[in-house]
Structure 1
Amino acid sequence: MDHGGSLGRARALFPFAPEPFVDLSTGINPHSYPFFQLPATALTRLPEAARLAELTGIAAAAYDAPSAAYVVAAPGTQILLPRVAAMVKPGRAAVLGPTYAEHARAAKLAGHGVAEVADFDALADFDLAIVVNPNNPDGRVVPRGRLLDLAGRLNAKGGLLVVDEAFMDVGPRAESLAGDAGQGGVVVLRSFGKFFGLAGVRLGFALTDTATAARLTGDFGPWAVSGPALEYGIAALADHGWQEAMRERLAGEAARLDALLSRFSVPVAGGTPLFRFIDFAGAPGLFRALGESGVLLRHFTERPTVLRAGLPACQDEWLRLETALAGWAHSRHDQAEEARS
């Protein structure tokens, strides 16, 4: 399954494209948290339980969870998906879509029959409901009040609401359910690598009631989070100054990307400050033209008019994107002229 970010797949699709690719196919921050010298013990010793406790305490404060007892640290949220789905006995699961495809796959692995629904209210009829908030790839946000109401209805019948807040670091934080994780019937997932630009660290969190958190932590056993991941998580989640400055920077760059796309008549229909959502009839041609120029967007086979564009990492990448867009627009103009003649 293609999730973007695969340069091997990009080379297979566009074997004659100039390299290096400008990879805009992910929603990962291109401006990573600063690298620093790890203590040797992060690599030479097994991770200490006290260091994990420090991380979960800092994560609880960063995400507004009641305390560390409500936080589960894991080697990425991806590994949490089937484990969280298995918190509910096999039944009927629904994913509010279209969205990130791994949630449906994980629910199936946990034994559920899975449906994708477009109507939020329909989620209450299922045993397991999954909402990505803000949504990937269109940036849709479901208000916190509606989510809390759904969680209460599901909890009353032994069901579970899973809210994937992978992009909430750059979303409307007032709509986050992280602070409500203790009420029962809710699991909130938070990704570390996307906002901090450190996807390879493989670190993520589940925020939930203390009993569920203890069960998930016990399932992982000791040393689930690597020493380097602990060090980066502790440093980055506690660095509030960097976080606020980065949110402001990303908002500015998202506006810059919107303006650039608009210059070439590419409509932006939504997104978050980490990615922009494009939906128009010319999407297949744009994806192909930019790919052949070495600029990779995220396309969706099942939704051919949809593209997602991440942020360029530097001025050279901005210039390459602008040049590729200009080439596509010129070619499109020439094709229109030929059709008229």
Structure 2
Amino acid sequence: MTEPGEVDLRHHGDSEVGDGLADFAVNVRAGTPPDWLAERIRASVTGLAAYPDPRPARKAVARRHGRSAEEVLLTAGAAEAFVLLARVLTPHRAVVVHPQFTEPEAALRAAGHDVERAILGKDFTLDIVRQEVLVPDDADLVVIGNPTNPTSVLHPAAAVAALARPGRTVVVDEAFMDCVPGEPETLATRLPPGIVVIRSLTKTWGLAGLRAGYVLADPHLIGRLAEAQPLWAVSTPALAAVEACSTPEAVAEAEAWAVELTAERDRLAAELSARGLYVVPEARASFLCLCVPDGLGIRALLRQRGYAVRRGDTFPGLGSDWLRIAVRDRASNDRLLDVLGELGI
């Protein structure tokens, strides 16, 4: 266990982009939303005079994961879900497993909770043996990402589920789970007692600006979160997107993209590893995490050449030699590799 250090928990990939830079910093799928989804969102604008009705989208999410509608709360992105949980839960000992997305810890701290950090080792993978050592028995709130941002590691579902025990809430951030073909390690369809799953449409469907996500949990907790949520928090266009992206056809399209992503990500990882870089093994999301000597210096040089990558030192458990690189199409990835080669990498 480590106590909080001075890191900027509010620094995210969007802070890295702009000024015409090629974006390898934000983990949103390029070329999205697809035309059919954009049309559904545009069509929803005709209903803006009415207050949003979340019921159809809520039912669609429930069907998509084999849950009841009472186990679903729609949110303005995953970020709102973290804020709602921080407002509703009253943990005596909250533990965030790092490295991971920093917004859950930031939300807990903003709500006045003390937070401890459990730092995973170099391969950043949770297993059943390790989690018993990593997380103290009296922790009553544990937060973990799966697959984890920024490491791209997919933890075994059994190891994550084993974190649960009476009196403890385990929050699993599955914002990148649809990057994994077949989603074999998701807990969304199983939802063991004490487990809360958070999902997002931002990454796969290119909807960061729309704010669309949801929470899956037991009906009692969903009810408490709903009471803490502002009225009509999810807009009509966002609800239309949630409903559309939860259909079997949309899920199949996301699956096909995940298969293509897997092949290109593995190729890019192999290219980087062949140059002697440490790439976190077994990456399963839409980005790679790698250790580069003088990572901040390399980041600055890449910016000079028109490329934005995500610095790693704002993730607890990483440092200034770490970078996160989004996986793009083959041609874009090759151009980045060429520039890295020019820098001697």
What is the aligned-residue RMSD (CA, Å)?
A: 2.3
- Per-residue CA deviations over 1:152-183 (Å, capped at 9, x if unaligned) read x2xx2x331111111111236222111233x4
1:117–1:318: structure 2 CA closer, same or farther, 3 Å change rule? Answer: closer
Q: CA deviation at 1:224?
A: 1.5
Residue equivalent to 1:254: 265
* 1:46-195 alignment runs, 5 A limit: 46-49=50-53, 52-62=54-64, 64-118=65-119, 120-121=131-132, 122-123=134-135, 124-151=137-164, 153=165, 156=166, 158-171=167-180, 173-181=183-191, 183-195=192-204
- For structure 1, list consecutive stretches of 5 or more residues without a partner in the other structure: 12-18, 333-341
Secondary structure of residue in 2 paired with 1:272: coil
- Determine the C-alpha separation between the residues in 1 that align with 2:170 and 2:235: 28
Q: What is the percentage of aligned positions where both structures have the same residue?
A: 29
AA partner of residue 227 (structure 2): G
Q: Is the Cα–Cα contact under 8 Å of residues 44 and 240 in structure 2 kept in the other structure?
A: no
- Determine the C-alpha separation between the residues in 1 that align with 2:337 and 2:45: 45
Q: CA deviation at 1:78?
A: 0.4
Secondary structure of residue in 1 paired with 2:302: helix
1:108–1:273: structure 2 CA closer, same or farther, 3 Å change rule? Answer: closer
- Determine the C-alpha separation between the residues in 2 that align with 1:282 and 1:221: 44
- Determine the C-alpha separation between the residues in 1 that align with 2:22 and 2:303: 9
Residue equivalent to 2:6: none
- Per-residue CA deviations over 1:30-56 (Å, capped at 9, x if unaligned) read 13231333225456323442xx21111
Secondary structure of residue in 2 paired with 1:150: coil
Q: Is the Cα–Cα contact under 8 Å of residues 31 and 313 in structure 1 kept in the other structure?
A: no
- Match status 1:283 vs 2:298: no
Q: Is the Cα–Cα contact under 8 Å of residues 294 and 320 in structure 2 kept in the other structure?
A: no
Q: CA deviation at 1:296?
A: 0.8
Q: CA deviation at 1:264?
A: 4.3
- For structure 2, list consecutive stretches of 5 or more residues without a partner in the other structure: 1-9, 120-129
Which has the higher Rg, Structure 1 or Structure 2? 1
> Which one of the candidate residues 219, 223, 228 is aligned to 1:210?
219
- Match status 1:322 vs 2:325: no
Q: Is the Cα–Cα contact under 8 Å of residues 91 and 141 in structure 2 kept in the other structure?
A: no
Normalising by the residue count of structure 2, what TM-score does the alignment of the two structures yield?
A: 0.82
Q: Is the Cα–Cα contact under 8 Å of residues 65 and 207 in structure 1 kept in the other structure?
A: no
* 1:264-275 alignment runs, 5 A limit: 264-270=275-281, 271-275=283-287
The number of residue pairs the alignment matches comes to: 312
Residue equivalent to 2:238: 229
- Per-residue CA deviations over 1:281-310 (Å, capped at 9, x if unaligned) read 243343222121111111123511111100
Moved more, 141-150 or 37-46: 37-46
Secondary structure of residue in 2 paired with 1:321: helix
Q: CA deviation at 1:21?
A: 0.7
Residue equivalent to 2:43: 39
Q: Is the Cα–Cα contact under 8 Å of residues 264 and 329 in structure 2 kept in the other structure?
A: no
Q: Is the Cα–Cα contact under 8 Å of residues 178 and 255 in structure 2 kept in the other structure?
A: no
Residue equivalent to 2:125: none
Secondary structure of residue in 1 paired with 2:12: coil
- Determine the C-alpha separation between the residues in 2 that align with 1:174 and 1:289: 39
Q: Is the Cα–Cα contact under 8 Å of residues 276 and 309 in structure 1 kept in the other structure?
A: yes
- Determine the C-alpha separation between the residues in 1 that align with 2:227 and 2:79: 18
Secondary structure of residue in 2 paired with 1:179: coil
- Determine the C-alpha separation between the residues in 1 that align with 2:252 and 2:224: 34
- Determine the C-alpha separation between the residues in 2 that align with 1:42 and 1:84: 33
If each structure's helix is expressed as a fraction of its own residues, which one has the higher value?
1
